[in-house]
Amino acid sequence: MSRTPLRRRSTALALALVAGSAGLTVAAAPSASAAACSDVDVVFARGTGETAGLGIVGTPLVSNIKSDLPGRSVSSYAVNYAANAAQTSAGPGATDMTNHVTSTAASCPNTSFVLGGYSQGASVTDISIGIPTLLGSGSTIPTALAPRVKAVVAFGNPLRLYGQTITSASALYGPKAKEFCNLGDPVCANGTNIAAHLTYQLNGSVESGAQFAAGKINAG
């Protein structure tokens, strides 16, 4: 697939533009992590410009997954990365996501994982599961651990600007992936409506993503 410098700059510009808007309204959201091994660990990467934590999409996603999995313990991990407007931090973010999954899997052999990301955080997730992107490179989750990743949920994924989705780009993770891209979203739909990129937590996408993840967990 041809990926021109102009298209690359357009992607970065769209992400940076949204970051500027998001940064004015996003409040800090601390990550949550259980000291003991949990049944399910949700690993989520926030979007560009958001302060450290799970972010405006990841926070309600984790809450809804917990509600949808009564009787199971659910922990969460906020990927530790810069989420910078320069769009240079997705690779290091992927490495942090991968390192967390690898170390937790080793310490907690019965823990299953849900991976997810929003905006640049979706690119973090793409890289971590082995999908090449234009936003950098980083460590990928070992193939042997793929069966323990039960679901992947992405919101506003820039991968779509290049005609791909997780489903089309990954035979390993595609069957357990769910992606949301609002009409007009400049980051995933090449649109011009910044508001479309900032409302996944308001339009039912988060609830639908949580139900999908819970269904995959319950299916084993």
Q: Which of 100, 112, 123, 197 is catalytic?
A: 197
Q: Quickly count: other Cβ atoms within 10 Å of residue 28's Cβ.
A: 9
Whole-angstrom distance, CA of residue 68 vs CA of residue 62: 10
The secondary structure element, H or E, covering residue 208 is helix 205-218
Active site includes 185? yes
Q: How far is CA 26 from the centre of its chain?
A: 17
Distances (CA, A) of 113 to 15, 57, 69: 27, 18, 13
Q: Which of 119, 128, 170, 205 is catalytic?
A: 119
Name the 3-class secondary structure at 215: helix
d(CA 136, CA 173): 20
Q: What is the DSSP letter of 27?
A: P
* Active-site pick, 68, 96, 126, 185: 185
Q: Which residues contact 14 (CB under 8 A, 6 or more apart)?
A: 158, 161, 186, 187, 190
Q: How far apart are CA 31 and CA 145, in angstroms?
A: 23
Active site amino acids: 119, 185, 197
